[in-house]
Amino acid sequence: MRAFLLLLAWTMLLSATNAKVYYPNRVCYADGKTVSHGETWTTSDCRLGKCTNGYITYQECDAQPPNDPLCGFSQDLALPYPGCCPIIYCI
């Protein structure tokens, strides 16, 4: 019993000191779908989603709407990221 308690205390100490624990086999859940570790996908609003160890990160387009009345932008949300990002044009 004493050995068990010592082992339990040691395990709790180790888990408390290791702030980052990686779970490479964890999956993510996005938009009602299961996504595997390392998998990427394009969202409907043109962001790149990536599943890493059970956590989802997103990468967004850099283009900002033009602040010039002679400029505009076009965007095709049917394309995968980054092709769906806005393209700025000026006349």
**Domains of the chain by residue range:** 23-90
Question: Would you place residue 84 in the very low, low, confident or very high pLDDT band (cuts 50, 70, 90)?
Answer: very high
Beta strands in 1-91 (DSSP E): 28-30, 33-35, 40-42, 48-52, 55-59, 71-74, 87-90
User: What pLDDT score does 24 carry?
Assistant: 61
Looking at the predicted structure, is the pLDDT value of residue 15 above 50? no
Dump pLDDT digits (tens) for 16-60.
433 445 556 789 999 889 999 999 999 999 999 999 999 999 999
Closest C-alpha among 86, 76, 75, 35 to residue 58: 35
Q: Give the 3-state secondary structure of residue 15.
A: helix
User: What pLDDT score does 22 carry?
Assistant: 54
Whole-number Å distance between alpha carbons of 63 and 71: 13
Question: Would you place residue 12 in the very low, low, confident or very high pLDDT band (cuts 50, 70, 90)?
Answer: very low
